[in-house]
Amino acid sequence: MEQPSPVPDTPYHRLGGAPVFEAIANRFYDLMVSDPAYAELRAMHAADLARCGPRCRSSSPDGQEARATGSRRTPAAAW
């Protein structure tokens, strides 16, 4: 029987790997499109965030959230 590969000892893996970094990215994009405090940061990005991947959100021209795609979103209360 084969032994499972050990988890590499990297900061990425020590912090929790893909699930943690996906949650961070999701929270980042959630804030950019929903919180007016992040309007200046949002303005630095393309109007359509679809190019950044399936987990990103895009907003309509009036700044309201148009759609959410991709993986589960981490509730704000978890942060």
Locate 38 and state its tokens. Answer: 């992040």
Q: DSSP character for 70? A: S
- Give the pLDDT confidence score for residue 64 in this predicted structure: 40
- Give the pLDDT confidence score for residue 53 in this predicted structure: 62
2 found inside a domain = no
Q: Per-residue confidence of the chain (79 residues) as pLDDT tens digits?
A: 788 888 899 999 999 999 999 999 889 988 998 999 999 999 998 888 777 665 564 443 343 443 333 334 444 444 4
Using a cut of 0.75, tell me whether the model's pTM lies above it.
no
- Quote the number of domains for the chain: 1
Can you tell me the distance from the alpha carbon of 39 to that of 28, in angstroms, rounded to the nearest whole number? 12
Can you tell me the distance from the alpha carbon of 48 to that of 45, in angstroms, rounded to the nearest whole number? 8
1 found inside a domain = no
77 found inside a domain = no
- CB-CB contact of 32 with 48 (8 Å): no
65 found inside a domain = yes
62 found inside a domain = yes
